[in-house]
Structure 1
């Protein structure tokens, strides 16, 4: 019987990546972009074998959503995914009831291995996603993006197009939050962007996001972030002709 998964993720690029990766388990994937949408899709009886829940959502958080699902008596296995790396944050998600916490970005194989493990299939541990040393000065790392998507060039091109379509709006959100001094909104916008940069190999953008997360009040870090966004947009790789 095919595994059925409820994926909860609000960032379009990350959602597309995770859905494609999960389908390769194989599995049928229902996608929700918020707590409210997830609760509507889950219903009041067990429809899914597994929940893949983002730790931060526009109308709540993953721990609260998991509690609400459990309160309905639903019993699916729950995995969290997050761009956060702090040990305390990851530990809190496990304490909230998640079987495992996946740190984004990651290769498709890592997600697939985690899903197969929790549904009882024996698999080997997958290697984490990393940018390649010779690409750290470039805007794009093709090797990392291809590794994340199991070498599927068409998938890389499709995700990059979605990422580039979303990037101006994401940058506007970061810029507005920074100038308004809204630390929570800035943190949320950077968090959403961090994982999607990794999935598409936007290495310079990823570095600028990380730097601004480390120094959110720095006007220099913000300027470098905006410059990296312009360079990323202007240097987007052209898909190979069919």
Structure 2
């Protein structure tokens, strides 16, 4: 199941870039732009839905992100990665001593951030690997990062939900993804009983991607369990 990340970052462009990159990797992201929004979100999160990782900017419009670190560490077992333009040693040391798991200095590459996230999660016993974002098999090409799907060289138009469902299967290609995993990762926790959504959207994907939708050879059903995209062969 996808891990959930809280991103606290006031820079709109950077927030959008990081959000998109994490979603490509399969993370579910809640992105906020201020201390007040972060506190509101954290106040709504129940015990079963706590975040798996927090990315915390320091320079926020309504205060310093450092003021949130203490309460986060007291209430969250999740790793906390501070992101900041402050590059001197003193704030780094102070924040690491205060409970931050890592400190990223702006500007940084998205690749470095994702790698540091994997390291921080690994230190908490959550083993993750770089996401599989490409699929090439039997005339079907899916590039999750570029948001592109081609069938025998021709572009295929998918709705946002269709693409999100296909991308989730691409990331775990060759393996069965359970109904619950798909519903949570594509629609959200509150939709775990809505299996008719899966039947509807899987039918639409098969119509667009299978030669014979009634006898699929790419998007397979494991009765009573879930769905799988046959493993890619490049």
TM-score by length of 1: 0.47
Give the greater-gyration-radius structure (CA).
2
Greater share of strand? 2
Could you say which structure has the greater relative contact order, defined with CA pairs below 8 angstroms and 6 or more residues apart?
A: 1
Greater share of helix? 1
TM-score by length of 2: 0.49
